[in-house]
Structure 1
Amino acid sequence: MSEIIQTTVAGRTLKVDYGKVGKLSDCAMFISYGDTVVLINANSSDKPREGVDFFPLSIEYEERLYSVGKIPGGFIKREGKPTEKAILHARAIDRPLRPLFPKGYRNDVQVVCTVLSVDQDNAPDILAINGASLALCMSSIPFTTPVGAVSVGLVDGKFVINPGLEQREKSSLNLTVCATKDRVMMVEAGGDEIPEDVMYDGIMYGFEECKKIVEFQEEVTKKYGKDKIEPVLYKVDEVIEEKVRDFAFDMIKNAMYVEDRDKRNEALNDVDGKLDEQFSEEYPDNKADISDVVYRIKKEIVRNMLLKEHKRVDGRAFDEIRPISCEVGILPRTHGTGLFTRGLTQVMTVATLGSLGDVQILDGVSLEESKRYIHHYNFPSYSTGEVRPLRGPGRREIGHGALAEKALEPLIPSEDKFPYTIRLVSEVLSSNGSTSQASICGSTLALLDAGVPIKRPAAGIAMGLITSEDMSREEILTDIQGLEDFFGDMDFKVGGTEKGITAIQFDTKIHGLSKNCIRETLKKARTARLFILQKIHDCIPEPRAELSKYAPKTFIMSIDPDKIRDVIGAGGKVINKIIAETGVKIDIKEDGKIFVMSDDTASAKKALKIIDDLTKEVVVGEIYLGKVTKTTNFGAFVEILPGKEGLVHISKLDFTRVNKVEDVVSVGDKILVKVTDIDNQGRINLSRKDAIKDSEKKDSKVKDSKAK
């Protein structure tokens, strides 16, 4: 039977329709908030997946364009691969849920969130996180700790839960908070340079609302949830674990205490070779078990080193940043480049400037149709010294690129101030932790090198955490490297300027972060960020005064919006002719602003003059240099401006009597004419005789002035 359960969140009804749809799924439901509706389906495999050393959780976020009354663009009129935003939303659902499954659980689990209807005041991504959590709790899948999620805005200095469209447009903060009833599990934020204390208060404000949603999920699960299956948890054979520990623990510990990364890896490879010699014959089918034991030994050693000895793997203090270097102008023909190196992490960002017509067109369920600032992030195999096929960007690459884009977006100049489309591409050349934050730094360098007048430079830092088993002790690490990320408890990324935070993304491998941990991490991240910003300033203190000679130049003019049709012409004939003749790019806005872009200034000015002539009004009494387009027995027709033609009557061609028009002018001749009259039908009357007379008077005045 169908059951409808509802509660109130931020003054609006959150409704769950359970038992009506998806009868063959372990759990399926409609979850709605306002007119936004998401279908949630949760399922798992009957048995653990063989041969894997990870939990195979799959979160899918499917956008249907019918949800906003759209038909997909392009030739194939159906949805294809997920949009970038859909991928980001899927990652945001995955991160808080994954740590809450039982350790060692290896069954395939899939949660599919299908967006069916979208009311722009109520975001479907936030609804999907709550729906995924509730569906897993109500299913037979061994997931028992619900999470709640809300968005938080900051409008006129006040926090707003789940802001509507109008409020989002006014908000200086776009914050997503996801939490259990005890701790914060995940935060994503973009902001207009938000101070640390305000960001912390915003997170806590969202946390309190999340608790209410969790209580609702607990009540619904208690009443309608299925009995949980007893999970089969992966566990290493105790005999194998004991033998591997006895044989390899001290060797692994000695290797892990080597501060130099290359020498440490070499020592660990030697240990792997000895393990293979020792156990390959005795346990030929248990390589995965042996690897798992080695992993847990490494993790135990690193965590003990940090918690008990207060020592980092590379010997740094807990708040110490790896050596930093900054360079700009690396590549000769690009519009701007920045090379940022922090320890063994190195990112090069390349900036490209294009016309406003180069904006990225978006085809999704949001109202955003295009964007003129684009950031892409590439993480090739060579960045970690590995060999694997090069494919298109995965979810991680898309996520890191979006995070860096979010960090810099509030600092990008407006279209009016800087009329260019801006694309940044961050190439990870070497990776040992925190490449997404290095890409923020490299991108800042590239923007400054390209001459983009950004509001202020930005930098990013990744913070880590190690906790004791009972979570009573918390050690925060600044600028985590690979091993600390791999064996640590959180990856807390913070990007921003000297003024405040522009982006946050954090997730955790444990059951959430304490309030004190969040507060202290934000504070220490600011100290680190200011240190990095000084390094950037030392390299390039401000944007270059001039764009690269290889960057296109943009010229702006304004015309009467009613004249736009004259510039475009029927079927685009006029504007295409201008482009073909001058080789420029032209973008026209509805308010009459025209942007002409070209590598060649002369070509741009030629196009501007053509447009100016096309839109210029004919003025009575003005003299024009026109072209004879047609002769008749009563006069000559002369084009004085593009598309604007007038008649010189035969009596106005010369001072003496003219018997035949062709005795004075021929088709194709360029002659001076004066506008004598525009009649009530818009017909233009011209005079060659008056133009010559006025020109002679002008020349006479010039000669008299010189003689004196």
Structure 2
Amino acid sequence: MINTLKTNIAGRQMKVESGRVGMLSDCAIFMNYGDTVILVNVNASEKPRAGIDFFPLSVEYEERLYAVGKIPGGFIKREGRPSEKAILNGRAIDRPIRPLFPKGYRNDVQVVCTVVSVDQDNAPDILAMNAASMALYLSSIPFTDPVGTVSVGLIDGNFVVNPTAKERELSSMSLTVCATKERVMMIEAGGDEIPEETMIEAIKFGFNECQKLVAFQEEARAKFGKEKIIPELHKVDEQIENDVRAFAYDMLKEAMYTTSKGDRNLLVDEIKEKINVEFGEKYEDRMADVGEVVYNLQKEIVRHMLLVDKRRPDGRGFDEIRPISCETSLLPRTHGTGLFTRGLTQVMTVATLGALGEVQILDGLGEEETKRYMHHYNFPAYSVGEVKPLRGPGRREIGHGALAERALEPLIPSEEDFPYTIRLVSEVLSSNGSTSQASVCGSTLALLDAGVPIKRPAAGIAMGLITNEDLTSEEVLTDIQGIEDFFGDMDFKVAGTEKGITSIQVDTKIKGLSEYCIRTSIENARKARLFILDKIKECIPEPRTELSAFAPRMYVIQVNPDKIRDIIGPGGKVIKKIIADTGVKIDTNDDGKVVIMSNDSDSANAALKTIKEIVKEVEVGEIYLGKVTKIATFGAFVEIMPGKEGLVHISKLDTARVNKVEDIVSVGDEILVKVTEIDGQGRVNLSRKDAIKDSEENKPEQE
């Protein structure tokens, strides 16, 4: 039986359909918004997974290029590793739904969102977030709090729900809000220095719009949802909990109240070893439960410390930032470096400037095909003092890199003002909380050090939250460190300039954030950001006026767009020769802009001179020094400019009669010729005879 329900969101129809496809999945739906369609399949294992202390949820966001009528590039011609955008979308779907499953639920759950049709006016990522919640809510899986998701734009001071492609171009803000009926579950935002109060109002607006989607899901469930199973929830044996608490609570409390992170970690490791010795035999097969009790005790102690004792683990005030230091120009051969240290968190960012031809090519479902500014983030195991194999970037590294990229993107100069491709790489050297926001600060230092004329410096900070069980008491923390993130309820990252916000990312472990928490976090983040920006300005107040000696120099020339094909030449022959002869890099645009890049000014000037000669118009009556390239019985072909040839007819080779062309010139000879005609087909006729006559007439008379 096919079940269908429709609603109207932002003037466009949204439809959910179940029962047509995926008969063996717990729930499979098509969800449409305009012509964008997401196929979602959700399934859960019948039994909990044994021996684990976490909820094994996996969310996959699968892009199919047929959704936009594309065939994948490359040799294999099929989709491979998920794109960066797909990985980010999978993370975004995961974050708001994960806290809404029952505590102690250990069954494997998989959510697969497959994008099967896209129209650019209706973003597939926003639809997928709603579709994932809808499928879980309709299924028998114990997910009972539906989540609505909307995108909010800001155009001419007005908020717009789910802006179309054209509206997104006009919008100064891109905000995603996910919410249940009661609270906000997730916030993602990027903006052109949005004032704090405007952002707060936009989040409220988004929350209210989410209620329509929650109601839509509730209506669908009432009509054709499955009966929910009663889950088998993991609970630690009461005897184990009592034994471990009696043995370890006082020791753990003393350790957790130790201010120094290093000393605290050593004490906790010693206590865990004592616990293993004490209970290793008694609870040999239940040590995972013992470990869970230890974690819960640590969490309980930290929360009591913050909520009741009003004290942070390192002794700071709730709105106090750890000591900060900023440095630049660390690495002599790079184009720009910044080292940002905040407490035990330290990030070094390196900036590299490249040719416009080095942009990143994007092969995805979006409208953008290239990316000129890139930010990459690396988090090696040594940053937390661990020994692990080095791997490629995971979902977390990709997510943090994208967050820092979004924070700085509105500040990057346009291609017209700064014709470089820019790559930033943030290396996390030490981690104790909020390395993503430290990478925003380190990247600002690196950009300024590289001489990139950004609009204004940016900085970022992470806010935290501690609540009690019923969410009636809460404390917002500025600049959270690792222990507060690990045992806390929220990671609220805000980046921006002295003028406003450029990015927000909010994760929560509880069933949503209050309006008070959101407002306090944004307002306190601004105070912290301004403090950090003062430290950055003390180190480097503005972009360096000179690029690094090792950075390539740009030389830009604007030519007639019709001349671009002459610069490139047949099969790229002309431009390849210029590059081979001079060693420069050359980028050409269809609008007539030619960019030459080289570390050597002489090489750049040589290439520039050649290009100017190519685009220079041949003029009738002008005399040129040309090179003979080919000989025929009727005359000689002479190159008078790179890529431009003309014919000297045998009758025009000399002032006297010429019987044979080879008697006067050979291939490779350089001769003076005069342009006598350019015919209707653009062919150039030359005369050596006229050039000789003109030279003789212009000779100075001898006394």
TM range (shorter): over 0.9
Deviation digits for residues 576-615 of structure 1 (CA, Å, limit 9, x no counterpart) = 2222222222211111111111222222222222222222
Structure 1 counterpart SS, 2:469: coil
Which one-letter code corresponds to 1:129 in the other structure? Answer: M
TM superposition shift of 1:574? 2.0
The aligned residue for residue 191 of structure 2 is: 191
Aligned-partner SS, 1:286: helix
Cα separation, 2, equivalents of 1:381 and 1:481? 17
After superposition, what is the alpha-carbon deviation per residue over 1:195-216, rounded to whole angstroms, capped at 9, x for unaligned? 1111111111111010111011
SS at match of 2:285: coil
Aligned to 1:419: 419
Aligned to 2:569: 569
Name the structure 1 match of 2:481.
481
Residues 356, 420 of structure 2: 8 Å contact kept: yes
Alpha-carbon shift at residue 263 of structure 1 (Å):
0.7
How many angstroms does 1:634 deviate by? Answer: 7.8
Equivalent residue letter for 2:130? N
Q: 1:629 offset after TM fit, Å? A: 4.0
Amino acid at match of 1:233: L
Which residue of structure 2 lines up, in the alignment, with residue 521 of structure 1? 521
Q: Distance in 2 between matches of 1:546 and 1:18?
A: 62
SS in 1 for 2:608: helix
- What residue identity is the alignment partner of 2:621? G
Deviation at 1:25, TM superposition (A): 0.7
Aligned with 1:510: secondary structure? coil
Partner in structure 2 of residue 274 of structure 1: 274
Partner of 2:180 in structure 1? 180
Alignment map for 1:6-405 (pairs within 5 Å): 6-405=6-405
Letter in 2 for 1:473: S
- Counterparts of 1:474 and 1:442 in 2: how far apart (Å)? 31
What's the secondary structure of 1:305's corresponding residue? helix
- Please, which moves more after superposition, 6-15 or 593-602? 593-602
Deviation, 1:520, is 1.4
2:640 equivalent to 1:640: yes
For residue 541 of structure 2, give the secondary structure of its aligned residue in structure 1: coil
Cα distance in 2 for residues equivalent to 1:635 and 1:289: 96
- More deviation, 301-310/216-225: 216-225
- Check the 8 A contact 1:68/1:365 in 2, yes or no: yes
Corresponding residue number in structure 1 for 2:591: 591
Q: Give the SS at the match of 1:366.
A: coil
Deviation per CA, 1:446-477: give whole Å up to 9, x if none: 11111111111111100001112222222110
The alpha-carbon deviation at position 631 of structure 1 amounts to 6.3
Shift of residue 621, structure 1, vs aligned partner: 3.0
Matched residue count: 700
2-side partners of 1:552 and 1:559: how far apart? 22
How far is 1:277 from its partner? 2.0
SS at match of 2:477: strand
SS in 2 for 1:24: coil
Alignment check: 8 A CA contact 2:623 2:691 kept: no
Q: After the TM superposition, which of the residue ranges 541-550 and 375-384 deviates more from structure 2? A: 541-550
Partner residue, 1:692: 695
Q: Distance in 1 between the 2:513 and 2:484 partners?
A: 17
Matched, 1:540 2:540: yes
CA distance in 2, matches of 1:74, 1:680: 44
Tell me, yes or no, if the aligned pair for 1:674 and 1:690 is still in contact at 8 Å.
no
Query: Contact (CA 8 Å) 1:652, 1:688: kept in 2 or not?
Result: no
Closer/same/farther in 2, CA of residues 636 and 511 from structure 1, 3 Å limit: closer
Q: Is the 8 A contact 2:55 2:106 kept in 1?
A: yes
Q: 1:78 to 1:645 in 2, by over 3 A?
A: closer
* Partners of 2:106 and 2:461 in 1: CA distance: 33
The residue type equivalent to 2:684 in the other structure is R
Contact kept? 2:253, 2:298, Cα under 8 Å: yes
Residue 573 of structure 1: CA displacement?
2.0
Deviation at 1:3, TM superposition (A): 1.0
1:689 is displaced (CA, Å) by 2.1
Displacement after TM superposition at 1:638 (Å): 3.4
CA contact (8 A) 1:153 1:161 kept: yes
Q: TM-score, normalised by structure 1?
A: 0.95
Distance 1:476 1:212 in 2: 30
Equivalences for 1:644-663 in 2 at 5 Å? 644-647=644-647
Q: Is the 8 A contact 2:556 2:593 kept in 1?
A: yes
Distance 1:548 1:696 in 2: 51
- Alignment of 1:603 with 2:603, yes or no, is yes
Contact 1:653 1:689 (C-alpha < 8 Å) held by counterparts: no
CA distance in 1, matches of 2:545, 2:696: 49
Q: CA deviation at 1:628?
A: 3.6
Aligned residue number for residue 445 of structure 1:
445
Which AA in structure 1 matches 2:421? T
Amino acid at match of 2:685: I
Task: Structure 2: state its 5+ residue gaps.
Answer: none
Displacement of 1:328 in angstroms is 0.8
Change in CA separation of 1:132 and 1:652 when aligned onto 2, cut-off 3 Å: closer
Distance 1:63 1:634, change over 3 A: closer
What's the offset of the Cα at 1:616? 1.6
SS of the residue 1:303 aligns to: helix
Q: Answer with 619-628 or 304-313: which moved more.
A: 619-628
- Verify the 8 A CA contact 1:652 1:689 in the aligned structure 2: no
Q: Give the letter aligned to residue 54 of structure 1.
A: F
Q: Deviations over 1:455-509 (max 9, x none)?
A: 1111110000111222222211000000100111110000111111111000211
Question: What SS does the aligned partner of 1:554 have?
Answer: strand
Task: Please show how residues 618-633 of structure 1 align to structure 2 within 5 Å.
Answer: 618-629=618-629
Query: Structure 1's 7 and 662: CA in aligned 2 closer, same or farther, altered over 3 A?
Result: closer
Match of 2:460 in 1: 460
Output the amino acid matched with 2:210: C
Q: Give the whole-Å Cα distance in 2 for the aligned partners of 1:246 and 1:427.
A: 43
CA distance in 2: counterparts of 1:74 and 1:634, whole angstroms: 50
* Contact 1:648–1:688, Cα closer than 8 Å, also in 2: no
Contact 2:574 2:643 (C-alpha < 8 Å) held by counterparts: no
